[in-house]
Amino acid sequence: MSTPPATQSLAFRVMRLCRPSFHVDTPLLLTPSDLILGEDIFDDPLAATHLPSLIDTHLTNPIDSSDLSYRSRFLLQTPFDSFGLTGLLVLPQSFGAIYLGETFCSYISINNSSNFEVRDIVIKAEMQTERQRILLLDTSKTPVESIRASGRYDFIVEHDVKELGAHTLVCTALYSDGDGERKYLPQFFKFIVANPLSVRPQGPSSQGNYIFRGMH
């Protein structure tokens, strides 16, 4: 009978530190005249002069912040509303594209999801490539004293990317759980490093004519 794997109290969470992106909200925004009038209304000068009277006044009034019905939430109040930019920023949800020559910077959080405190945590973070294994963090000499229940310990690691191909961020933790049992937690986060430039011939019959293309 095989022994079931021990339940881990800790877990690593990794987020790449890079520039956030704009949060884009693209609902169907419109103006009241689009619902009532045709797009050729301004071709008739007489009809254009009577345009305000053809639109219900409650649709053209500015939004009342105390109105909780949100009846005007789909109306274009300013020209900038059509862009869908809410002013909010979004943190990266994945490692994304990583290119040779960049500095890989990552925010790592080790979380205690148990109901008891864990103690004497030795944390290591290493970057493993096809050629080498580079130590980024090692708390062997100064272990983390404890992480309370539902608590966490955060740190940041950096690595100058100098190799192409597969990379693995290896995070390990050695700790004592609530019963004093010593446990080992390994977790692996894989990503690919690509070449930022590619050189391709301009044509099948050309000689010495090449195109340099940047990767985005």
Name the residue with higher pLDDT: 26 or 89: 89
What is residue 173's predicted lDDT score, i.e. its pLDDT?
96
Q: Is the pLDDT of residue 57 over 50?
A: no
Q: Is the pLDDT of residue 46 over 80?
A: no
* Domain hosting residue 45, numbered range: 23-90
Which residues lie across from 214 on neighbouring strands? 197
The reply to whether 215 falls in a domain is no
Domain shared by 108 and 175, yes or no:
yes
* pLDDT tens, residue by residue, 60-83: 455 555 554 445 555 556 555 555
Sign, CA dihedral 107-158-12-181, equals: negative
The dihedrals phi and psi of 14, each to the nearest 5 degrees, come to -125, 135
| Tokens of residue 130, six digits | 């096809």
**Location of structure tokens 């969470």:** 13
Q: What does the alpha-carbon distance between residue 108 and residue 25 come to, in Å, rounded to a whole number?
A: 29
| Segment of 26-30, 46-50, 71-75 carrying the highest mean pLDDT | 46-50
Q: Is the pLDDT of residue 99 over 80?
A: yes
Domain shared by 14 and 28, yes or no:
no
| Segment of 12-26, 133-147, 198-212 carrying the highest mean pLDDT | 133-147
User: With bands split at pLDDT 50, 70 and 90, how would you rate the model's confidence at 179?
Assistant: confident
What is residue 167's predicted lDDT score, i.e. its pLDDT?
93
Q: Is the pLDDT of residue 6 over 60?
A: no
Domain shared by 183 and 145, yes or no:
yes
Domain shared by 63 and 140, yes or no:
no
User: With bands split at pLDDT 50, 70 and 90, how would you rate the model's confidence at 3?
Assistant: very low
What is residue 17's predicted lDDT score, i.e. its pLDDT?
78
The reply to whether 158 falls in a domain is yes
The reply to whether 202 falls in a domain is no
Domain shared by 128 and 72, yes or no:
no
How many independent structural domains does the chain possess?
Answer: 2
Domain shared by 129 and 190, yes or no:
yes
User: With bands split at pLDDT 50, 70 and 90, how would you rate the model's confidence at 5?
Assistant: very low
The reply to whether 4 falls in a domain is no
Domain shared by 79 and 180, yes or no:
no
The reply to whether 73 falls in a domain is yes
What's the per-residue H, E or C state across the chain? CCCCCCCCCEEEEEEECCCCEEEECCCCCECHHHHHCCCCHHHCHHHHHCHHHHCCHHHHCCCCCCCCCCCCCCECCCHHHHHCEEEEEECCCCCCCEECCCEEEEEEEEEECCCCCEEEEEEEEEEECCCCEEEEEECCCCCEEEECCCCEEEEEEEEECCCCEEEEEEEEEEEECCCCCEEEEEEEEEEEEECCEEEEECCCCCCCCEEEEECC
Domain shared by 154 and 99, yes or no:
yes
Domain shared by 28 and 118, yes or no:
no
Average pLDDT in the chain: 76
Give the contacts of 45 (CB within 8 A, at least 6 positions apart). none
Report the range of poorest mean pLDDT among 38-47, 125-134, 138-147, 157-166: 38-47
Query: Which of 130, 126, 213, 125 lies closest to 165, judged by CA?
Result: 130
For the chain, the C-alpha Rg in angstroms (whole number) is: 29
